[in-house]
Amino acid sequence: MAGTIQNRDAFLKVLKDKRGNQEMPFEPYKPISDLPETHLADKTKEELIAIAREQADFVSANMVETTSSELNQVIADLIKSSGEGQVMIPSTPEFDEFGVKLPEDAKVVQWQVGADHREENIMNAQNSNVAVAFAKFFLAESATVVVESNAGQGRSLHFLPTHYISIIPLSRVLPRSTQAAAYFAEHQKEGSTLHFISGPSNSGDIEMELVVGLHGPLEINYVLVNDL
């Protein structure tokens, strides 16, 4: 994977100083296998979806497959089953590109672009019952959606609403995380952050009890739409 390692020399100098300036032989990293680059590479799109469906069950996410013509109805049904209420959407061109229209009676608020709207956006996200947004990628190996924060959608949109609907074009389904990482390494954007979301937030490490919705959405819906 091509890219620049930030602050490498400064970091290594700190380690060297801690060791009393002792010289250490340089040993280049040698991967033990090519699995990170080949895992699931031989799978068809249909096979990847089947794997993702199994993983979605494992991470307690609801996965729905639909077509472009039925996408709006599927979204409307999910909003209704989530209890309706305020719905937050990003300010991104994908809604127009894919013809996404929310129900006319939906209480929609949109992410406002600009630093002056930061507190307003956070408050709107916190008060929203549902968020609807597009995934940048969907990783079949772990049923993980990848989203990128930018001017049109901050991270609070993805984490503060109670219910989250992720629209996933089939063309954005990838076998594994290394492919998404390679893309972002090549298309770095200053100020953006990446989030890898695998189902609703939960914690099973407190007295071995699973608590869903502990620090994020209580429910996540993956909506795969065929755009191929």
Phi, psi of 168 (to 5 degrees): -125, 100
pLDDT at 152: 93
Average pLDDT over residues 65-72: 95
Dihedral of alpha carbons 119, 123, 124, 130, sign: positive
CATH fold of the domain at 50-226:
Rossmann fold (3.40.50)
Tell me which H or E stretch contains 45: helix 45-58
pLDDT at 1: 44
What are the extents of the domains in the chain? 50-226
CB-based contacts of 117, cutoff 8 Å, min separation 6: none
- Which range (19-23, 122-126, 158-162) has the least confidence? 19-23
Q: What is the pTM of this model?
A: 0.81
Per-residue pLDDT for 80 more than 60? yes
pLDDT at 47: 95
pLDDT at 40: 85
Per-residue pLDDT for 151 more than 60? yes
Per-residue pLDDT for 24 more than 70? no
110-136 pLDDT, tens digit each: 999 998 999 999 999 999 999 999 999
Q: Measure the CA–CA gap between 228 and 7, rounded to whole angstroms.
A: 41
Q: Measure the CA–CA gap between 147 and 168, rounded to whole angstroms.
A: 11
Q: Measure the CA–CA gap between 3 and 163, rounded to whole angstroms.
A: 36
CB-based contacts of 63, cutoff 8 Å, min separation 6: 52, 53, 56, 143, 221, 222, 224
Average pLDDT over residues 187-211: 74
Average pLDDT over residues 43-61: 93
Tell me which H or E stretch contains 119: helix 118-126
Residues paired with 219 in a beta bridge: 163
Per-residue pLDDT for 3 more than 60? no
